[in-house]
Structure 1
Amino acid sequence: MVLTDFEHVSIDGTIKEAYNSPFNIIKEKDISLLIRHYVIQELTKDEIKKLRRTARKFLNDKSKSDEEKVDILFYWWLLLDYSGQVSLALNDYDARLMKTKDKGQKYPKFSFNIQLGTDTESKLICGVNAVQNPTDHYQIPALMNQILVNLQIKPQKISADTIYSTLANLRYLDNLGITALIPTLQQNRENSGKQPDNPFAIDYFVFDEYKNVFICPNNKELTLDGAYPAPQEKGGGNKIKLVYSNYFACKNCEYKGICYNKNHRTITRYVHEVSYKTERLMSTEEGIKEYKKRSKTVEAHNGYFQKCLSL
């Protein structure tokens, strides 16, 4: 249809509640008691009264034999052991407890994390993936594999919000030769105009790439103290921990006790070749301009997509 060349695809995730009543769940404790009832010793009347409604309903179900019930209970137990949770949604075994964005929501609900990839030019949805992990940190590879199969062409750029800025995601995109438009936390706050009120927050320390120093709000340079290997990230790969400080400048600074609470102020950066390349791109006018296309693309689709699923 020649609507787009799929040059720039934007990615985002949203938590969508599963089709399961909050009353139609079974707890690990009840499963354990029911297994004891059928395998070891029958429960007393008082113990049966303490069972939750779904467990009592299962116990009184005459359509299944005791052997069938034991098989089901052990299957449920296996699912709980696999998920690491203490309760199971009986309408959707694959759902996991997640915090939704519903107004006033205090407790997690059985949900899925819906990952969506949308073309920024045509607004066509290129890929959808439902995952059991409540966070977006490592979701790009699985969704991108689906997008590549669907499109049969490789997008040149992928944009996503800060939470996707993990080494696993960035290395995956870099290996494919796809440009990652993913800002750091500080860059995201600056671009959205939501910088902190504290004038000595890290957002106001300017990094001079040429000199490899941070310039503090009082115009003093924090130089590199040392570089250390950081713990390995999930998905593989290590970043380098860089620590910057200026003990003597802080010692005589008029903002001592305001900018820092201990001996002196330190700035810590965790960098890797691919993460640094992305950070540099997102500090340019071109990178910021291209990234702004994202807000009018996938986030709107996610809201509409979630509404449709609720109908």
Structure 2
Amino acid sequence: MVKRKFDKNQTKLGISTLDWNVPKDHISRFVGDFIEDVFPLLEIDEPKKKKRREPLPLDSMLKLLVYAKIQHIDRTSIIADMARYHDIFRFVCDDIRPSERSIQRYRREYGRYFEVLLQMTLKKAFDEGFTEFNHVAIDGTIKKAYNSNNNTISKKETKILVDYYEGRPVSPESLEKLHKPAQRILEKKDMSDEDKLELLYGIETQFTFTGQDRIPVNDIEARFMKGKKGNYMVAYNIQSAVDYDTKLICAINVTQSPTDHYELPAIAKKAIQNVNTKPKYISADTIYLNQISLSYLADEKIEGLIPTRKQSKEKIGKLNENPYHKDHFEYDYEQDAFKCPENQYLHFYAKYTEPHKDSKKPVKVKRIYNNYNACKNCNARTKCCASSQTHKTITEYGSELQKAMNHKMEKQKYKDEYAKRSSVEGPFGIFKEQFQIEKEVVVGMIKTEERINLDALAYNLIRLYNIKQEIENTTEDLEDFCESTSIKNQLQLTATIF
């Protein structure tokens, strides 16, 4: 065997285009075509620099940022290298060579357009007949903020530092007793006194706004929230609305609320705005079942699907084992009474209202059900009632709207529709496992929402691409079947494939 020795200095001529190494059905082509189609609709006035070189084309930068996110690349240094050396990245971004700092700046300055592009993916899905957004499911999760749990400052320490920088007398002992986060503010040399005072004013505002005892120093808009494992962390509450038919994300809303209780109206409004239509059904889990959510759904004439705590526990087989627990008392909607395990009815007795701790929230409605005579003569009273009780009392919270929702969710038709709600869980899992949103270095509620919208945009483009590929592959399979059948049986077969 003769081995040929190549001349490293040999010059070769050839013609190659940017897409020479990109497969025809590659997702990079789909992303590039999508951005090019919708970019004029964004109507962005790109600033023109004087005396300096022309700015990088924004449409090319958007393609690069979106495609990098699809490939789960978040570090700007890696994105810059890929744009310079990787064939597919060069094709996507039209062979521009942005620096690491340029990528950081474009992602920061034009992050507000990610939500608009997200809206465009939903419009494309609707225009191509993939969905009509009949059922939108809502859920929430928390995202750890870029701030340690220990890097927080108290109200007292904030007041000491404000007094110090405003020129009021502060004893050296009180400055020495400050904890490390407050000490770091005091000792920070790359920050002017005016900037430190502005930061402290912002922290004071957050104390007033959130009612927390301590505020994170690095990300003052984040809040302490309880995770699924029961641990508390500095985080943001991420609300998501997902279309059942396509599993596309319809909206993202980032809030400071530590729980999901009153977040349905805000995320539902965003979803309706983004899809440009009202869904027939909006489903959510039990934590959203309250007067604010129900009033919103009633006002918007949307069929809400929100089960009670008992209905949720029944679905997963976790009703209380005690046969005389409230879980085993059946509510009779016609009689407005609870039927106990001994077939006795506890009738409506009285209704009370309790003011909410937050004056902006509606009052709580409490309804009492009991039957003193039935309990007095019942043989199971000692099993059903505590030793200090003379009779059983059932307490129900909620207005007439909640009663109507409870009744509706007992019907099989709505149970079957609500079963579709599980579609909302998928995107959150992909966000955390594949897009690694917990590792994204973002500070502030607005910037966090912009970055999550970029994640959602990348996710939606992957979903649209996969849906189109499934349809095209299915069509090709049918065409091949028709052609092979026609040849095999020597028949002229005419078929229309949609």
TM, length-normalised to structure 1? 0.89
Written as runs of structure 1 = structure 2, the 5 A alignment for 1:68-87 is: 68-87=195-214
Deviations 1:99-140 (A, max 9, x none): 122x4x54x221111101001111111011011011111111
Structure 2 residue aligned with 1:230: 353
Structure 1 residue aligned with 2:468: none
SS of equivalent residue, structure 1 residue 9: strand
Q: What is the Cα deviation at residue 60 of structure 1? A: 2.3
Structure 1 residue aligned with 2:289: 165
Alignment of 1:60 onto 2:187: yes
Deviations 1:168-205 (A, max 9, x none): 10110111110011011111111221101111111111
Alignment of 1:304 onto 2:427: no
Structure 2 residue aligned with 1:109: 233
Change (3 A) 1:61 1:254: same
Alignment of 1:243 onto 2:368: yes
Structure 2 residue aligned with 1:27: 154
Q: What is the Cα deviation at residue 248 of structure 1? A: 1.7
Structure 2 residue aligned with 1:137: 261
Alignment of 1:176 onto 2:304: no
Distance (whole Å) between structure 2 residues aligned to residue 272 and residue 79 of structure 1: 33
Change (3 A) 1:42 1:306: same
Change (3 A) 1:310 1:237: closer
SS of equivalent residue, structure 1 residue 287: helix
Query: How many residue pairs are counted as aligned between the two chains?
Result: 305
Distance (whole Å) between structure 2 residues aligned to residue 21 and residue 240 of structure 1: 40
Change (3 A) 1:55 1:292: same
Distance (whole Å) between structure 1 residues aligned to residue 341 and residue 427 of structure 2: 40
Task: List runs of 5+ in structure 1 lacking aligned partners.
Answer: none
Tell whether the 8 Å contact from 1:26 to 1:54 is kept in structure 2 after alignment: yes
Distance (whole Å) between structure 2 residues aligned to residue 165 and residue 53 of structure 1: 42
Tell whether the 8 Å contact from 2:160 to 2:170 is kept in structure 1 after alignment: no
Q: What is the Cα deviation at residue 150 of structure 1? A: 0.4
Distance (whole Å) between structure 2 residues aligned to residue 35 and residue 237 of structure 1: 37
Distance (whole Å) between structure 1 residues aligned to residue 334 and residue 268 of structure 2: 35
Q: What is the Cα deviation at residue 237 of structure 1? A: 5.3
Tell whether the 8 Å contact from 1:243 to 1:269 is kept in structure 2 after alignment: yes
Structure 1 residue aligned with 2:378: 253
Tell whether the 8 Å contact from 1:17 to 1:100 is kept in structure 2 after alignment: no
Q: What is the Cα deviation at residue 61 of structure 1? A: 2.8
Change (3 A) 1:112 1:72: closer
In structure 1, give the amino acid aligned to 2:335: K
Deviations 1:64-90 (A, max 9, x none): 454554444333223322222232223
Distance (whole Å) between structure 2 residues aligned to residue 241 and residue 30 of structure 1: 42
SS of equivalent residue, structure 1 residue 136: coil
Structure 1 residue aligned with 2:39: none
Change (3 A) 1:22 1:294: same
Alignment of 1:265 onto 2:396: no
The alignment yields a C-alpha RMSD, in angstroms, of 2.2
Distance (whole Å) between structure 2 residues aligned to residue 293 and residue 68 of structure 1: 50
Task: List runs of 5+ in structure 2 lacking aligned partners.
Answer: 1-127, 440-498
Distance (whole Å) between structure 1 residues aligned to residue 363 and residue 192 of structure 2: 54
In structure 2, give the amino acid aligned to 1:41: P
**Radius of gyration: which is bigger?**
2
Distance (whole Å) between structure 2 residues aligned to residue 211 and residue 86 of structure 1: 48
Tell whether the 8 Å contact from 2:138 to 2:239 is kept in structure 1 after alignment: yes
More strand by share: 1
SS of equivalent residue, structure 2 residue 354: coil
Tell whether the 8 Å contact from 1:184 to 1:279 is kept in structure 2 after alignment: yes
SS of equivalent residue, structure 1 residue 268: strand
In structure 2, give the amino acid aligned to 1:245: N
Tell whether the 8 Å contact from 2:291 to 2:398 is kept in structure 1 after alignment: no
Tell whether the 8 Å contact from 1:229 to 1:238 is kept in structure 2 after alignment: no
Distance (whole Å) between structure 2 residues aligned to residue 127 and residue 35 of structure 1: 39
In structure 2, give the amino acid aligned to 1:246: N
TM, length-normalised to structure 2? 0.57
Change (3 A) 1:268 1:84: closer
Structure 1 residue aligned with 2:321: 197
Tell whether the 8 Å contact from 1:12 to 1:117 is kept in structure 2 after alignment: yes
Distance (whole Å) between structure 1 residues aligned to residue 226 and residue 241 of structure 2: 22
Tell whether the 8 Å contact from 2:354 to 2:366 is kept in structure 1 after alignment: no
Distance (whole Å) between structure 1 residues aligned to residue 273 and residue 156 of structure 2: 43
Distance (whole Å) between structure 1 residues aligned to residue 303 and residue 162 of structure 2: 53
Deviations 1:266-286 (A, max 9, x none): 223334332222111100111
Tell whether the 8 Å contact from 2:225 to 2:258 is kept in structure 1 after alignment: yes
